Amino acid sequence: MIKNILNLGDAALYCDFGKDVNRETNTQVIRYFKSIQKENIPSINNLSPSYNKLIISFDLKKTNFKDLKKLIENLNITNEDDLKNKKIEVPVCCDENFALDIVRLENKLNLKREKIYENFFSKEFFCYMTGFIAGMPFLGDLSKDMRAKRLETPRVRVPKGSVALTEQFANIYTFESPGGWNVIGNSPLRIFDGSKEESPNLISPGDIVLFKEISKNQYENYNE
């Protein structure tokens, strides 16, 4: 449930679902997100679900904080059964040319790369949110021994398709972008497709993601 609704500036509601980042809290956020989305409220411009927050930005010409807050507080929220989550397999090649930060991770985590990959590929990930750049999924949770901080100096260019880790999360760079996450491989799978206006994102909040290791040869001959 929403614990608290504040204003973020004069044209957004800042809905707080509690301090903790876990699947339970995030599932609540997603439930609200999907329920509000379904209502097609014309004064709402955008919904931004994240780990434990939902930001609702609106058109100040059509409504205001007080009125929209009341509307959201009185909304019927979908129950769990209505959420349709997908399971998606993402192929990853861990060739040395792609695994830009594997040596750094070996040192930081004090684990051999074989163990890092074994942990990574045996895990089922949950998509908490998408964004920062178009389609980028924030996936969790890595086990405690797999958690490393961001690079001290972020890269100016992280290659498109990079699969990277930081703290309890994994993500996939859908575009070449600046970034500071630890890159361990690269996926040939297209995660964001702007030509598909209905569903440009392959992975959406609430979805389950499994990574599958592929060889350099499979990577090069990959065909969706």
CB of 209 to other proteins, least distance (A): 16
Nearest to 91 by CA among 205, 181, 218, 196: 218
Q: Is 168 in the site for other proteins (CB under 8 A)?
A: no
Q: Please state, in angstroms and rounded to a whole number, the distance separating the CA atoms of residues 100 and 15.
A: 38
CB of 18 to other proteins, least distance (A): 11
Q: Choose, by CB under 8 A, the member of 121, 175, 188, 213 that binds other proteins.
A: 175
Q: Is 43 in the site for other proteins (CB under 8 A)?
A: no
Q: Please state, in angstroms and rounded to a whole number, the distance separating the CA atoms of residues 201 and 149.
A: 27
Binding mask 76-95 for other proteins (x = CB under 8 A): --------------------
Q: Is 28 in the site for other proteins (CB under 8 A)?
A: no
Q: Which stretch binds other proteins (CB under 8 A): 9-17, 73-81, 97-105, 215-223?
A: 9-17
Q: 157 CB contacts (<8 Å, ≥6 apart)? A: 176, 177, 178
**Which residues from 102-161 bind other proteins, rule CB under 8 A?**
129-136, 138
Give 12 or 72: the residue with its C-beta nearer to other proteins: 12
Amino acid identity of 95?
Answer: D
Q: Choose, by CB under 8 A, the member of 7, 22, 78, 119 that binds other proteins.
A: 7
Q: Choose, by CB under 8 A, the member of 27, 28, 162, 174 that binds other proteins.
A: 174
Q: Which stretch binds other proteins (CB under 8 A): 11-19, 75-83, 94-102, 182-190?
A: 11-19
Q: Choose, by CB under 8 A, the member of 5, 23, 35, 57 that binds other proteins.
A: 57
Q: Is 189 in the site for other proteins (CB under 8 A)?
A: no
Q: Is 70 in the site for other proteins (CB under 8 A)?
A: no
Site residues (vs other proteins, CB under 8 A)? 6-12, 14, 21, 33, 44-55, 57, 60-61, 64-65, 129-136, 138, 174-175, 177, 192, 194, 197, 200-201, 205
